[in-house]
Chains A and B, each alone.
Chain A
Amino acid sequence: MSVTRRKLLKTSALGAAALATPHIWMPGTREAWGATLTEGEPIKVGLLFSLTGGLAVPEEDSTLVMQYAIDEINAAGGVAGLPIDPVIVDAKSDFKVYSEKTRELILRDKVTSIFGCYTSASRKAVLPTIMQRDNLLFYPTCYEGAECTQNTICTGPLANQHSFDLIPYMVEQFGPRVFFVGSNYVWPKESNKNAKIWLENANGELLGEEYIPLGSSEFGPVLEKIRAANPDFIFSTVVGASDIAFHRQFKQAGLNVDTMPIASLTTGEIETKAMGAEFGAGHFLSAPYFQNMENETNAKFVEGFLSSKYGKNGTTHYNMEETYLSAYVFKAALEKAIEMHGIADVTPRKIRDAAAGVRVEADVSPEGLIWIDEKNFNTWLVPKIGQCQADGSFKIVKEAPEHVAPDPYSIYPDLGTCTADGLLAPDGTLKTDVI
């Protein structure tokens, strides 16, 4: 190794550039970029979902339902009189592209907020950029928690809201012996950590835990292990195309749904439609929303969405409803921020701060009243358990008696609690932006 002259020149030039523009390299330096509102101009927001590639199945639906929600808000007069103008990008199921597009949305399009991501991997890919530019990410689906930033609002259930009533219910109905199956990535593993706690509280017994590579469709060996263990029920965090293969092969292997049902955190209406209702019937799902929930708001939402130009897929599953809610949380928070600061002084951070405690009432929210936690900016919601019926729709068999608080650090109490300013460790130190 020798230091050539050219290399030296290059390095010092880079160094000089870095010194001249400190915000691009100094950690912790935040600079809000553009993203201010002007009277009479539309409010720009970014829709950062994958329209192509392996993640397109759930994420294309998210884009469609966001467009539907935005149309609905605009038709009702917009936010404080301003229409919302979505900038739609395709993240191509590639985490590099997620982060590139985030930069583009913030720097070039100067969006006020970004709605996007479905997997934790993509969320973790975009968060550094969003935090650096002090923008705001609406993350509209479930996730594992263990994050405390000042730039995210989540409208889906956290791990602590997801399996806490599902596992006791299944133990009570079918018996204490359970087998865990999941896709091999962060969310299933973290969810299973939570599930083990609930299982212990319910005096359940864990017979085995298996992870399948993401996207794999061969469940033969796993199903044989399950058959040998003969559990009372299966707890599944298998996602995407694998999930469909799992349910199909479960039935083809001759396992009985009546004596060994699958309790899943993700197998919703869109999955049962794709696998065929006969493969889904009898299994269970924990979610805050089901398409056939009986209330006026939901009837209006389902009918309105399916008959709109965005409703060609024919379903409104929990992930879409959570995305829909995020649009209304944004609207309510922005209205509050404009009222507090005036239209010219609204920044993404102020929208986030204004979102504390924001409620989406039952006449707007298809799943019923929800509100945003004042400290960790996740959502208070009512978890429900549905059982898949012969036609592929879900019947709600249990509903939590009241709203459940989101707790991103429920399984890591040693790390502290999430507050509006950051993660408050038990020793009293405050860490900002923990991802």
Chain B
Amino acid sequence: MDIGSITSAVFLGLSIGSVFLVAALGLAIIYGTAGVINMAHGELIMLGAYSTFMMQTVLGLPFFICIPLSFVIVGFIGYLIEKVLISSLYNRPLDTLLATWGVSLVLMQGVRIIFGSDPKYVEVPSFLSTNIDLGIVNLSTFRLFVMFICLIMVLATWYLFYRTTFGIKVRAVTQNKDMAASFGINSSRIYSITFAIGAGLAGVAGSLFGAMNIVLPTMGTSYVVEAFLMVVAGGGGLLGSILASALTGQIQSAFAFIYNDTYARFLVFVLIVIFLRFRPQGMISAGASRR
């Protein structure tokens, strides 16, 4: 292995990791804060892709505007789901699991009824289809773009949760809901907003994935498994998910270079299972007192 292929393996590892993290971030926030295992996360990603598709074809908006708007649209849908369904199911983890799974089926079928099951096409600006040749390594602009958006998402989430009053309230509710309530924090409102933000982040992920791959009613299912793995291996928190994604991305990229892609995936899954056997709480366990 020469320096060029090692550099591109590391770059691809970062890129794969950022795709994982983009998919997992919304899930991590919802799980970390409200303890809800959101089975509909993949379908929220799918809705993000479809809203991007709709904004492009119906309103003719450029791709860059569609990304923040997907956040708003899917965030709003997430807010509605939380208000109507999840809000009455807190403290009943099994029921939320089933209910969100039901929501995922409803969303998938609903989209199929409205849009049909043929694949849709999200257009990206042509400069994102190019690449930057640095001699030893060749960087795809789209991959750089995904990493860039991922960085923005992480920074914005970090700022929101650790540098604002809202963030203090969220962390208070996460640590001890009753205690927080006795200090005048409206915990159900915090949950709704957090759920909406988590859904919105899934919407952004959908915008990116729709442009990268294919827009289909079933597209979410392929991302949700990886997203869950990142959140579980990371321990449910923000930092844990970042670490887990970065590490898994690098491992997968390295194995894919040395062996092949199928084998790499297999090894990554095995390693995660072994890791969780010895550290079931994940890399960095969060919100310990609630659970």
Name the contact of B119 in the complex, choosing from A210, A222, A244 (C-beta under 8 A): A244
Q: Mark B242-253, 1 if CB is under 8 A from A, else 0.
A: 000000000011
Decide yes or no whether B141 CB sits under 8 A from chain A. Answer: yes
Among residues of A, the one whose C-beta sits closest to the C-beta of B138 is A254
Would you list which residues of chain A between 53 and 92 have a CB under 8 Å from chain B? 53-54, 56-57, 60-61
Of B120, B143, B265, the residue contacting A252 (CB under 8 A) is B143
Q: Verify B121–A276 contact, CB threshold 8 A.
A: yes
Across-interface contacts of A218 in B (CB, < 8 A): 16, 19, 252, 261
0/1 interface trace, chain A 181-220, chain B, CB 8 Å (1 if under): 0001000000000000000000000000011110111101
Query: Which of chain B's residues have a CB closer than 8 A to the CB of A253?
Result: 131, 138, 140
A93 to B, closest residue via Cβ = B218
Instruction: Give B1-29 as 1s and 0s: 1 = Cβ < 8 Å from A's Cβ atoms.
Output: 00001001100100110010000000000
- A252 near B141: Cβ-Cβ < 8 Å: yes
Provide the residues of chain B in CB contact with A398, threshold 8 Å: none
Q: Output the least CB separation between B143 and chain A (Å).
A: 7
Q: Within residues 268 to 309 of chain A, which ones have a CB less than 8 A from any CB in chain B?
A: 270, 273-276, 278-279
Interface residues of B in 136-188 (CB under 8 A from A): 138, 140-143
Q: In the complex, are the beta carbons of B12 and A249 less than 8 A apart?
A: no
Known: A213-B261, A253-B138, A254-B130. A245 touches B212 (CB 8 A): yes
**A-B interface pairs (CB < 8 A), number:** 118
Flag if B265 contacts A213 (CB, 8 Å): yes
Q: What's the Cα separation between A61 and B117 when bound, in Å?
A: 10
Find chain A residues with CB under 8 A from B97 CB. none
Q: How far is the CB of B5 from chain A (nearest CB, A)?
A: 6
Q: With the chains together, A217 CA to B20 CA distance in Å?
A: 12
| A residues less than 8 Å from B209 (CB atoms) | 217
Range of interface residues on A (Cβ < 8 Å): 35 or more
Tell me, in angstroms, the Cα distance from A400 to B118 when the chains sit together: 31
Tally of contact residues, B, Cβ under 8 A: 45
Contact with B along A152-193 (1 / 0, CB 8 A): 000000000000000000000000000000001000000000
Docked pose: A271 CA to B112 CA in angstroms: 18
Given the known A-B contacts A212-B261, A216-B261, are A241 and B9 also in contact in the complex, defined by CB atoms under 8 Å?
no
Say whether A312 faces chain B, with CB atoms less than 8 Å apart.
yes
Residues of A within 8 A of B215 (CB): 274
Contacts of B12 in A (CB 8 A): 220-221, 224
Contact with B along A342-360 (1 / 0, CB 8 A): 0000000000000000000
Pick from B116, B118, B256 the residue with the most CB of A within 10 Å. Answer: B118
Cβ of A4 < 8 Å from any Cβ of B?
A: no
CB atoms of A220 and B253 under 8 A apart = yes
From B4, which residue of chain A is reached at the shortest CB distance? A228
Q: Which residues of A contact B252 (CB under 8 A)?
A: 218
A51 at the interface (CB under 8 A from B): yes
In the complex, chain B residues whose CB is within 8 Å of the CB of A228: 5
Name the distance in Å between A365's Cβ and chain B's nearest Cβ. 25
B216 at the interface (CB under 8 A from A): yes
In the bound complex, CA of A270 to CA of B214 (Å): 12
Is the C-beta of A227 less than 8 angstroms from some C-beta in chain B?
A: yes
Contact present for A249 and B261 (CB under 8 Å): no
- In the assembled complex, the Cα of A20 lies from the Cα of B121 at a distance in Å of 57
Interfacial residues of chain A within 16-58, with CB under 8 A of chain B in the complex: 51-54, 56-57
- Asked whether, in the complex, the Cβ of A313 is within 8 Å of the Cβ of B116, the reply is yes
Q: A residues near B, CB below 8 A?
A: 51-54, 56-57, 60-61, 184, 210-213, 215-218, 220-222, 224-225, 227-228, 241, 244-245, 248-249, 251-254, 270, 273-276, 278-279, 312-313
